[in-house]
Amino acid sequence: MKRSNKPIFWSLFGAGGTLAALLGPMLVFVTGIAVPLGFLLPRDLMDYERMLAFARNGFGKLAIVAVIALFLFHGLHRLYHCLHDFGIHVGPVLKAAFHGCAIAGTLVAIALVTAIGFAR
């Protein structure tokens, strides 16, 4: 029997869901509301120098790629399954499209944190 790829996508979906449940709302609040408004946190928390230093740090790179990749895999996997609820019949093409977007986003994120370089 051909091996199913389901466990891989389900694991990434599950990891993304857990990360979103543990930190998602606070991340949205910090990057989208608190820092842009200077509410509770200073505006310069996300200035260019600080974010560049964060993205040049090995842990920072891992954190950035983990959040982007897992949120993409989580959200797109669930939206893919949601298509059925809207009466759209899914097949290998749509499955490849949804999971392919998550894979592409992950590769772009990895390429970008690599291009940003490493701390000396």
Partner 1 sequence: MKANSTYVRPMGAWWRRNAFYRSYMVREASALFVTLYAVVLLIGLLRLAQGPAAYDAWRASLATPASIAFHVVVLLLVAYHAWTWIAVMPKTMPFVRIGGRRISDRTIVAFGAAASIVAQLACLALLAWLGWTR
Q: Which residues bind partner 1 (CB under 8 A)?
A: 14, 16-18, 20-33, 35-37, 40-42, 44-48, 51-52, 55, 64, 67-68, 71-72, 74-76, 78-79, 81-82, 85, 87, 105, 108-109, 112-113, 115-116
Nearer to partner 1, 1 or 94 (CB): 94
In the bound complex, what is the minimum distance in angstroms from residue 67's beta carbon to partner 1? 6
| Rounded least distance, CB 8 to partner 1, Å | 18
Q: Residue 5 Cβ, how far from partner 1 at the closest point, in Å?
A: 20
Three-class SS of residue 107? helix
DSSP per-residue letters across 33-64: IIHHHTSSS-GGGG-HHHHHHHHHSHHHHHHH
- Cα of 116 vs its chain's centroid, Å: 18
Task: For partner 1, give the closer residue by CB, 8 or 21.
Answer: 21
| Cβ-based nearer residue to partner 1, 30 or 90 | 30
To the nearest whole angstrom, how small is the minimum distance from the Cβ of residue 96 to partner 1? 17
Contacts of 61 (CB under 8 A, 6+ apart): 55, 113, 116
The structure tokens 């983990």 sit at: 66
Q: Which is nearer to partner 1, 5 or 78 (CB)?
A: 78
**CB burial readout 76-94, b (16+ within 10 A) else e:** bbeebeeeeeeeeeeeeee
